[in-house]
Amino acid sequence: MTTAAAKLVSARSAGATRAPAGSLPDGTAIESVTLTAANGVSARILTYGATLQSLIAPDRDGQPADVVLGYDDAAGYVGCPNYFGVTVGRVANRIGGSGFTLDGVRYEVPRNDGDHSLHGGDRGFDKQVWRIEAVEDGPPARVVLAHRSPDGDSGYPGELDVTVCYALDDEGALTIAFEARTTKPTMVNLTNHAVFNLSGEGAAAGTSGHRLTIPAAAYTPVDPTRIPTGECRPVAGTAFDFRSPRVVADAIRDGRDAQIRYGRGYDHNFALDKGHTAAPEPAARVEDPSSGRVLDVLTTEPGIQLYTGNYLDGTRPGKKGHLYRMGDGIALEPQKFPDSPNRPDFVSARIDPDTPYRHVMVYRLSTTR
């Protein structure tokens, strides 16, 4: 390759830019890293909460838009936590009764969802400032963030060293790789909580017209407090059958289904047909007919939580002052099943010092006519 050609490839390949992004009230600095791909996709990551703050993608006509809900600056995530784009842990989703038993010992974890613990409690990983371990140009462009959770943090046993690597390639695929090592047996279930609107965050029509596919023949129904009953129920003939593309709004207000009433829409885990896999495999596909944008979600985990923004109530301005309301976003969170620390029949969330945790997920963006 000639020098001129090498410079052209370099100019068009994915890059990474690090910048200050504010601070906590106590003065702790927050930084951002922006990853940019040759095809126009870019991702901005904050060290606060290891958060995916923005994900900009072109539509079928090449017009860019930010497709994740959130806030314009770090102060919004600190002052109005709503899980937008954050890394959630130690244990994502709900733990029934805010506790679990491990090797005969009962551990109590924070109650922040009625009687239950949600997304690691009120001081989970989403509210920590992570340190940057590496920033690299691509392809792929990448940033590695790290956090140490001490033994007993929020009631969980074991000192936990966690890393999250965001990597953006030149085809528009953002890979998020989680790894964790512990000094004692403990529970870990990490995911990203991005809330998407492929028409662009704040688009007036919300996500009601998005078409969703989830390759899952069963889901895990919940009780009225949204804790799994332990059943894996077939989706066939129900509002939960997304095995073929289906408009999200088709059954989201079907009050005849108790599960829809319990979640105020969709807030449920799907048992992926693929199960737990060594490499990321398809878990969901979202298509927006209005913009032509398509999002494919891949994961190594056995489940994916579908959440349709049911608790967004328009009281907290987001990006550009937009008031997000019910149905304005869709979260697709790959993970172990909810309440898995209390469900021996579910895929275990346990890790040990000699069996570290690893989860790789991918948000792959493209367009269609």
Whether the pLDDT of residue 1 is over 60: the answer is: no
Output the average pLDDT for the chain: 95
133 within some domain:
yes
CA 344, CA 57: separation in Å to the nearest integer?
41
Q: What is the pLDDT of residues 273-294, one digit of tens each?
A: 999 999 999 999 999 999 999 9
Number of domains in the chain: 1
272 within some domain:
yes
9 within some domain:
no
Higher pLDDT, 282 or 8: 282
CATH number assigned to the domain comprising residue 314 = 2.70.98.10
Active site residues: 193, 333
Q: Which residues span the domain enclosing 302?
A: 14-367
Q: How confident is the model at residue 49 (pLDDT cuts 50, 70, 90)?
A: very high
Q: What is the pTM of this model?
A: 0.95
Under a CB-based contact definition with an 8 Å cutoff, are residues 145 and 128 in contact?
A: no
313 within some domain:
yes
104 within some domain:
yes
4 within some domain:
no
pLDDT of residue 11: 46
